A = this chain, B = another copy of it.
């Protein structure tokens, strides 16, 4: 009786697995060159005995986040987080009313606030991201992401992830890939929600960071976030971040802007089968349309060189049946 039940359980698991595998992958992708390129690549690297076979251990895929997995317009979502933090902290900082960049931020004028360049940006980051423990920051981000809404769509930010890219992540993982995020955004800004939204655990998130320090507060050990930049995971920093955290070259990389150029170049210049993909924002109706002239997510060099590098260009308007799951 016991064995029979075990076999029934196994059969149920097996049937469920078969059912999942039988679902056509990438249902939100229109038929076309981009979808076919993805399916062909996954098929060839998973076919044992083929010259393009890649063992499961080496199936590493790296994804940019802003503009690749979720929307980045009219500005990076982490910038909205900064604005909300400045407003929340303003009562403790009456001097901010007359002190830039905070005076502009409190009026919601991000461009004016950033006019001071890198030093201003650093000042903003430090005021909103440093001084607390890692656990306190985790809670601040978790509370914000659960409630804050995008000013144009009224959606939760986590509702503005791209359904076709979620399906791509799933298709890769179903085929033995380990999926990583490699973003210019803050590493600890993404970790609190990426597991739930992307099914990517904290240890597979790479991003920009500030320095931290281990110390004791009230007799308890804590890790405190310091007002000092540690690492910028953007442009040529992305291959460096990949090497530091993953320790080997991905075989597939996915981005949308020139900030992802070096990650795509590093990934696709390795030996054996390689895959690079750029999401081109072409849909002004369902999302945003921007490339060479955009201050956020500029895509210029990548558009010029995608073809010569063999990278797949996704035309969001043409290739995606829907943008967000809620459509």
Interface residues in chain A, defined as those with a beta carbon under 8 Å from any beta carbon in chain B: 6-7, 10-11, 14, 57, 60, 134, 178, 180, 187-188, 191, 195, 201-205, 209, 212-215, 220-221, 223, 236-237, 239-240, 243-248, 262, 265-266, 269
Contacts and interface: CB of A to CB of B under 8 A. Distances in A.
B201 A243 contact: no
In the assembly, how many copies of this chain are there? 2
A293 B223 CA distance: 30
B201 A57 contact: yes
Given A7-B7, A266-B221, A245 B245 contact: yes
A135 B6 CA distance: 48
Nearest to A204: B203
Nearest to A230: B244
Interface core residue of A187, A215, A223, A246 (most chain B CB under 10 Å): A223
Contacts of A7: 7, 10-11
A262 B201 contact: no
A34 B247 CA distance: 34
A223 B243 CA distance: 8
28 contacts: A7-B7, A7-B10, A7-B11, A10-B11, A10-B14, A57-B195, A178-B203, A180-B203, A187-B247, A188-B247, A191-B247, A191-B248, A201-B247, A202-B248, A203-B203, A203-B245, A203-B246, A209-B244, A212-B244, A213-B236, A213-B240, A214-B236, A214-B237, A214-B266, A221-B269, A223-B240, A223-B243, A223-B266
Given A203-B247, A245-B245, A239 B265 contact: no
A136 to B, nearest CB: 13
Contacts of A223: 239-240, 243, 266
Interface core residue of A11, A214, A262 (most chain B CB under 10 Å): A214
Contacts of A220: 269
Contacts of A201: 57, 247
Contacts of A202: 246-248
A322 B237 CA distance: 46
Nearest to A242: B223
A57 B203 CA distance: 11
A236 B223 CA distance: 10
A266 B214 CA distance: 9
A244 B237 CA distance: 16
A189 to B, nearest CB: 11
A247 B207 CA distance: 11
Contacts of A187: 244, 247
Contacts of A191: 247-248
Contact of A239 (B205, B221, B269): B221
